[in-house]
Amino acid sequence: MGDFWVFGYGSLMWNPGFETLERQRASLFGLHRSFCIYSWVYRGTQKNPGLVLGLDKGGCCRGVALKAPGNKREEIVAYLRAREQVTSVYLECWRKVRLETGEGVPALVYRVDQNHEQYATSLSIEKQVEIISGAHGKSGPNTDYVESTVEHLRETGIHDHTMEQILAGLDQN
Residues labelled catalytic: 84
What DSSP string runs through 110-156? Answer: EEE-TTSTTB--S--HHHHHHHHHT-EETTEEHHHHHHHHHHHHHHH
Do residues 76 and 161 lie in contact, with contact meaning Cβ atoms separated by under 8 Å? no
> How many Cβ atoms from other residues are within 10 Å of residue 115's Cβ?
8
78, 110 contact by CB (below 8 A) = no
d(CA 70, CA 53): 27
Rounded Cα distance, 58 and 114, in Å = 13
